[in-house]
Homo-oligomer: A and B are copies of this chain.
């Protein structure tokens, strides 16, 4: 069983995904795969806010880059938080778009139960910055690839989730 939560900044997608996997896990302690790598003060505050919510409900794994390898070691269920940061890290480390999507395809073939969080960035004005445009493209392609493998997809806004699939 694979599930995608997509939505904008502060749409509540992370909180909704956490509540969802905890409910699905039915008492088992789920894994939490944190993909954040580059941490400034602003990011640290976001992470701290996320961690306060998680408390002892999850087993946390931190892996910013080698997502497939980390998930291969993980029996699941696992919350991947988040795909957008992982895409960003992969680009930073010089991985090609084709390479990223290939790894993502392999991730989605894994048998373990998975909830993935993704940040929707393609509904604003198309950025005049070429790198940002490439990121928007990659982000949308990744979301499509993930959603195609998921049994359920939720679009989040204002702390609410809407089932798309």
Contact = CB atoms under 8 A, between A and B. Distances in A.
- Identical copies in the complex: 3
B159 A162 contact: no
Main secondary structure, interface of A, reads mixed
A132 interface: yes
A121 B120 contact: no
A147 B123 contact: no
Interface residues of A, number: 42
6 contacts: A8-B121, A9-B136, A123-B124, A125-B127, A143-B157, A153-B160
Interface of A: 4, 6-12, 42, 118-127, 130, 132-133, 135-137, 139-141, 143-144, 146-148, 153, 155, 157-160, 162, 164-165
